Amino acid sequence: MLAHEPRVLWEVVGPLASGIEQRLDRQRFRNPGPYPILLTHALVAPVGIAYRRGSSESYGANAGALGNVTLSVRLPQRYSIHKFFLSSYAHTACGVAGPKPSPLPPAAGATPAAGLTRSSGIRGLHSWLFPHGYELDMLPSEQITVAFGTFARADVTGAPPLSDADRPILDFAFYQRSPWMGARSVSTSSFPTSATQADMRPRFNIDTFPIPTGPDAGAYGLAADAESNQDPALIFGGQFFDRSNDVAGDLDDAEAQAQRNTPSRVTGFAVMIDQINLDNAGGTTQVFMPLANLGGISIQPTADSQARGEYWWEGLAPISLVTPTINDSALVYPLPEPVILPPGKALEIWLQTEGGVVVNDFDPLFNVGVSFCGFAQIPRSPA
Amino acid sequence: MTEILYAAKVPQLCQGYLYEPVLLYSTVSLPVGGTILAFDEGTFRNNEDFNIHLTHLKWAIRQRQTGVATVSTDERQIQRVECRLNWHDTYYQSYDFMPVPLWHTQGDDVLPDPMVFGQVNWRFLRPFLVNPEAIIEGLVSLENEEDESTYPFNLALHGKGLESGENRIIRGTIDIGFGSNNNGQDADQIITPYEDLSNEGDEPIMATDLVMNLGPLATATDPTPNYRNARASIRCHDGGTGFFWNTTPGLGTTDLPPSSDLGACLDLWGVNGSRGVTHRLPGGGWVLMPGRGFTAEVRNRNASGNFALDVTMAALGFRVIQ
């Protein structure tokens, strides 16, 4: 009998110039645990490209540059090399991943709806819905800790012309399947925008999301300590997995207690970032990336006797790299056949940048995040 | 009904039942400030004699006529709408109101960039049998145009011939606009019947896909259309129940124009291709017996400002006719 836990192997590299071939850090794509990992998706995102000054077309100079990235992957214990040819960013994201309402702003003039010219997306949603058989059973006594952070960019300075009202709002949800009605439940946590509740404030705020005032230098590099910023974590557990409040009718004590003691089956998670005000604040010349390409997330359930307690991935991975099901801002490549990564084995990945589209005299630079998502297969004795 | 006989011929497909698409929908005008409003009572209740099998829920911000300063038609404002349902005395998905985008669990619903502003698709989970000589009646209206322009509107049902297995398409195109075909309806809306949507072959068609497309303004240099202006109603004559596939109880809590029930916003039809939010009900979906249903409540996250929202919601599935 196998239990499954999500796992993501990821890395961010850049900025890279055109015509570069770079081997990614093999240790970042090594299976560090004692259990095999079944990899199901590869994701590529323009991480850290948060902002471009200029017309909306210049946005594509960076985000669209992903279309000129080629990944070559050597799987362990195999002799062939798999190449992922990533064509157009928009086309590939749409054709392969599907869920891409409108992450790229339409070209100037194509304004069927107010505000969409500078929009980072319609739904602001990123999610990973676990396939049937890969859900997590969570007891009410167990907890899952979710932490958010952002990639600080030491090379970017300047006064942010943002007000509190422009701060994005972040919602997080675990989807659950309630056993008594066979339905799916969810609970959310929102980061308030009030400055008085700073301890719950995401770091997508004016302190850590500066808008550069200097000349636009293209893609921004990531600081060496990019992952050091971390907000106080959200802890989901106890009341979160207690579904007795969802019953509108009266429950007696025994029924309520029975509901609380019933394990929840976590079927996935989702992050929604409402950055409408931020997008609008950009005015007519500033275009923001979806912040999911900038903000990091970390998830760790508490340990129990079933050998859990491990982080689902190392560090604070960009949100767009850990959400293969619904993703507005990354390329999602479902592997034609799942790949089993045995303990201690690693993927070897080369990343090559070719050509690049020069738009409005911006040289193409590449700031690329790569991830492989899947599930650790953990032997579990029957209860 | 002869379709039952046809359905009986393909038990591996229909198990002897006839399935007809259904879309229960309504709109609520949601003020700022966190007021909780429910959709009209009866919106999501089965008021028919047949079982209704629901498979999806849809939400969108309705783009009604311009000129209401306090109402936002920005479709991104769907991120500021929260919702919860009450189904069999149990809150779904939870007691807590949840932002509507977090309900979005349908992952294959986005069309390519060139089409995403003009087209909606619905792939039926159960095929709908269209009899020979049956006529599909499509009613289309615009609610946001006050000029003399016309827009091409396309409607198509895709499927296969029941006997031959060949691909079959029933399609029609019509130009709609405020300045033409005004049948005396409310000044902001026109309603235009399709007359050439029929199965002209000699075998039934198992329709599996519905596609609706609003083209760009005929005289515009920008070819990007906006289907959010359009609404549609569909039913099948000489086949199925003859009821409109989309049903709404009426106005209720909305303050929309009197003819607002002329059709469902195109966003609501787009289960497999739209810009709205699509929730796939878990498992096999929900079966509404006659007289049964659920309630839906929504809340606006905007605390102040000109961000009143017209939220439109639908529950989609199919009638099960034995």
Distance (Å, rounded) from C-alpha B283 to C-alpha B272? 18
The answer on pLDDT for B257 being more than 60 is: no
B99: contact with A, CB 8 A cutoff? yes
Residue A104: the pLDDT is 36
Q: Which candidate from A102, A113, A245 shows the least CB-CB separation from B74? A: A113
Residue A178: the pLDDT is 63
How sure is the predictor about A250, in pLDDT bands with cuts at 50, 70 and 90? Answer: low
- Residue A264 bridge partners (DSSP): A138
Of residues B69 and A219, the one with the higher pLDDT is: B69
Residue type at position A358? V
Residue A257: the pLDDT is 65
Q: Which residues of B touch A325 (CB under 8 A)?
A: 107
How sure is the predictor about B226, in pLDDT bands with cuts at 50, 70 and 90? Answer: confident
pLDDT digits (tens, 9 = 90+) for B51-107: 999 999 999 998 766 567 788 888 889 999 999 998 888 888 877 788 899 898 886
Report the mean per-residue pLDDT for chain B: 81
Dihedrals phi, psi of A201, to nearest 5 degrees:
-80, 130
CB A16 within 8 A of CB A365: yes
H or E element: which one contains B228?
A: none
The answer on pLDDT for B259 being more than 50 is: no
Looking at chain B, which residue has its C-alpha nearest residue A328?
B110
- Residue B278 bridge partners (DSSP): B58
User: Mean pLDDT across the stretch B287-307?
Assistant: 92
Number of Cβ pairs closer than 8 Å across A and B? 141
Lowest-pLDDT range of A17-26, A114-123, B118-127: A114-123
Residue A79: the pLDDT is 59
Lowest-pLDDT range of A124-138, A303-317, B77-91, B264-278: A303-317
The answer on pLDDT for B284 being more than 70 is: yes
User: Mean pLDDT across the stretch B131-152?
Assistant: 78
The answer on pLDDT for A111 being more than 90 is: no
Residue B279: the pLDDT is 92
Q: Are strands A136-138 and A183-190 parallel, antiparallel or unpaired?
A: unpaired
The answer on pLDDT for A199 being more than 50 is: no
Q: Using the structure block, give the residue that is written with the tokens 């669209």.
A: A64
pTM of the model: 0.83
User: Mean pLDDT across the stretch A130-147?
Assistant: 78
Of residues A295 and A375, the one with the higher pLDDT is: A375
The answer on pLDDT for A101 being more than 70 is: no
Of residues B246 and B187, the one with the higher pLDDT is: B246
Residue B185: the pLDDT is 44
How sure is the predictor about A231, in pLDDT bands with cuts at 50, 70 and 90? Answer: very low
B63: contact with A, CB 8 A cutoff? yes
The answer on pLDDT for B15 being more than 60 is: yes
Best of B92, B93, B119, B299 to mutate (most A CBs within 10 Å, chain A): B93
**Most confident of the following: A76-80, A184-188, A315-319, B155-159:** B155-159
Residue type at position B40? D
How sure is the predictor about A165, in pLDDT bands with cuts at 50, 70 and 90? Answer: low
CA distance B12 to chain A (A): 25
Of residues B293 and A219, the one with the higher pLDDT is: B293
How sure is the predictor about B274, in pLDDT bands with cuts at 50, 70 and 90? Answer: confident
How sure is the predictor about A185, in pLDDT bands with cuts at 50, 70 and 90? Answer: low
Residue type at position A18? S
Give Cα A3 distance to the centre of its chain.
Answer: 23
How sure is the predictor about A88, in pLDDT bands with cuts at 50, 70 and 90? Answer: very low
Distance (Å) of CA A4 to CA A130, A184, A274, A380, B257:
10, 19, 31, 10, 53
Q: Which residues of B touch A116 (CB under 8 A)?
A: 75-76
Percentage of chain A modeled with pLDDT above 70 = 45
Percentage of chain A modeled with pLDDT above 90 = 11
CB A290 within 8 A of CB A49: no
User: Mean pLDDT across the stretch B190-194?
Assistant: 71
Token pair in block for residue B253:
């809590």
pLDDT digits (tens, 9 = 90+) for A328-362: 777 777 777 788 999 999 998 888 776 554 444 44
Residue A251: the pLDDT is 63
Q: Which residues of A touch B300 (CB under 8 A)?
A: none
Residue A362: the pLDDT is 47
Residue A202: the pLDDT is 33
How sure is the predictor about A57, in pLDDT bands with cuts at 50, 70 and 90? Answer: very low
Of residues A230 and A196, the one with the higher pLDDT is: A230
End-to-end C-alpha distance for chain A, whole angstroms = 10
Residue A77: the pLDDT is 65
The answer on pLDDT for B9 being more than 70 is: no
Structure ipTM? 0.83
CA distance B74 to chain A (A): 6
Looking at chain A, which residue has its C-alpha nearest residue B304?
A165
Taking an 8 Å cut-off on Cβ atoms, the answer to whether B228 and A125 are in contact is no
Q: How many CB atoms lie within 10 A of CB A269?
A: 26
Helices in chain B by DSSP H: which ranges?
2-9, 11-14, 266-269
Lowest-pLDDT range of A180-189, A348-357, B190-199: A180-189
The answer on pLDDT for A13 being more than 50 is: yes
Residue A59: the pLDDT is 39
User: Mean pLDDT across the stretch A238-242?
Assistant: 56
Residue B118: the pLDDT is 85
Q: Which candidate from A121, A186, A248 shows the least CB-CB separation from B102? A: A186
Taking an 8 Å cut-off on Cβ atoms, the answer to whether B112 and A95 are in contact is yes
The answer on pLDDT for B198 being more than 50 is: yes
